[in-house]
Chains A and B, each alone.
Chain A
Amino acid sequence: MGQVVELEIPARPDFLEVARMVITTAASIEPTFPDERINDLRLVVSEACTNAIEAHASSGDEDKRILLRCDLAEDRVEVEVEDQGGGFELADLGDLPAVTDPARLDHERGLGITLMREVADETEFRSSEGGTAVRLVVYSTKRR
């Protein structure tokens, strides 16, 4: 295990920037992490926290908090984002229409999990009625 940074934020949109900033600043301490991967980390943390904020809003639990735990190692950063929202079923999210389908424009949401899976090297989602935990791993060199 490397250095660990923990952060707890209110489940509100105006704290999203703080979460991105803290995690990416912590990752920048490791000099082997290139800017490209820091930017990838910024994106996936934003996506995970946005989902958490929206989960709290949906379940009326905006007073509860979101916990971020960031484990910094020489070759990778592992971030876990835990919320206390209502949880979700990955299988219920469905697929978006193809980009060539005009119906694609009816869907403003639904890209976040796709982006997390594409950009992070490892993703894991654990969801229950008590909330959701998202584990994201970004290596200093992209694994795929």
Chain B
Amino acid sequence: MQFEVNVAPVGSWTVMAVAGEVDVATAPRLRKEVVALLGEGHDRVVVDLEAVDFVDSTGLGVLIGVLRRVNAVGGSLRLVCTTDRILDLFALTGLDRVFDVRASVGDATGESPVDSPEPTE
């Protein structure tokens, strides 16, 4: 699946739906999108990883950087992920104790039921 980031407001949150593989080739785009969002004053951010096929340490590192940036502006970051392979990586690295991981966008935003923004071409 091709790497995509789609952003949409859901209630008081901004949801970034990420699709594809997050690695050294694609993670910089994710970082750039978050920096832009925070620059626009959107500091309640949900990163939806449900359509992510693969993430490695570079992707995890960018998520760490996202959390640092969100914390720096007094905002909130929640991740949406139910993929065992990615949850295992969080557990293996201890990041499951750092990130607020939710099972759905509805759970993350408190706006239920909702769907992630549809990818657009």
Contacts and interface: CB of A to CB of B under 8 A. Distances in A.
Contacts of A16: 23-25
A53 B98 CA distance: 28
Given A104-B98, A105-B67, A115 B23 contact: no
A44 to B, nearest CB: 9
Contact of A115 (B89, B97, B98): B89
Interface in B79-112: 85, 89, 92-95, 97-98
A99 interface: yes
B30 to A, nearest CB: 12
Interface centre among B54, B57, B58 (most CB of A within 10 A): B57
B67 A14 contact: no
A14 B67 CA distance: 26
> In the complex, which range does the number of interface residues on chain B fall in?
20 to 34
B57 A107 contact: no
Contacts of B97: 99-100
B53 to A, nearest CB: 10
A41 B23 CA distance: 15
Given A46-B54, A108-B61, 13 more contacts: A16-B23, A17-B21, A20-B54, A42-B54, A99-B94, A99-B95, A105-B64, A105-B65, A106-B68, A109-B57, A114-B93, A115-B56, A115-B93
Interface of A: 13-14, 16-17, 20, 39, 42-43, 46-47, 50, 53-54, 98-100, 104-112, 114-115, 118-119
Interface of B: 21, 23-25, 54, 56-58, 60-62, 64-65, 67-68, 71, 85, 89, 92-95, 97-98
List the 3 closest pairs (A to B, CB-CB), nearest first: A108-B61, A99-B94, A111-B57
21 contacts: A13-B24, A16-B24, A17-B25, A39-B85, A46-B23, A46-B54, A46-B56, A47-B57, A50-B57, A50-B58, A53-B24, A99-B93, A99-B94, A104-B98, A105-B65, A105-B98, A107-B64, A108-B64, A109-B61, A111-B93, A115-B93
